[in-house]
């Protein structure tokens, strides 16, 4: 019985030693979430600006024939969600790579 008490006491002490670090991390979490959201939001704004510039280039008369040949996406349909915008950006980059390597 004493051996069981000693083992339980040891586990309890180990757990109690971890609690302050856990509480400290939990206290910092809201700030870290806010910082991550701000960084994500800033990146999305930059990506949207880039996509707008790419849209302007891809809809130009000079590019249309190349874009059609490479199977570029229709950039005239604006993305309605962040996920759709990210996918559109990926598709545009793929298209631009095809155009740049085609002859």
Exposure b/e, 29-54, CB count within 10 A at least 16 = b: eeeeeeeeeeeeeeeeeebbeebeeb
The alpha carbon of residue 8 and the mean position of all alpha carbons in its chain are separated, in whole angstroms, by 44
pLDDT exceeds 70 at position 1: no
User: What pLDDT sits at residue 84?
Assistant: 92
pTM: 0.65
27-83 pLDDT, tens digit per residue, is 999 999 999 999 999 999 999 999 989 989 999 999 988 988 888 888 888 888 999
Token look-up 């910092």 returns 28
């Amino acid at each position: 019985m004493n051996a069981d008490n000693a083992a339980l006491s040891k586990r309890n002490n180990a757990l109690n030693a971890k609690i302050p670090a856990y509480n400290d991390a939990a206290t910092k979490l809201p700030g870290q979430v806010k910082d991550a959201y701000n960084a994500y939001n800033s990146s999305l704004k930059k990506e949207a600006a880039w996509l707008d510039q790419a849209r302007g280039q891809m809809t130009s008369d000079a590019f249309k024939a190349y874009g059609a040949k490479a199977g570029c996406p229709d950039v005239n349909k604006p993305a309605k969600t962040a996920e759709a915008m990210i996918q559109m950006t990926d598709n545009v980059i793929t298209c631009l790579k095809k155009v740049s390597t085609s002859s």
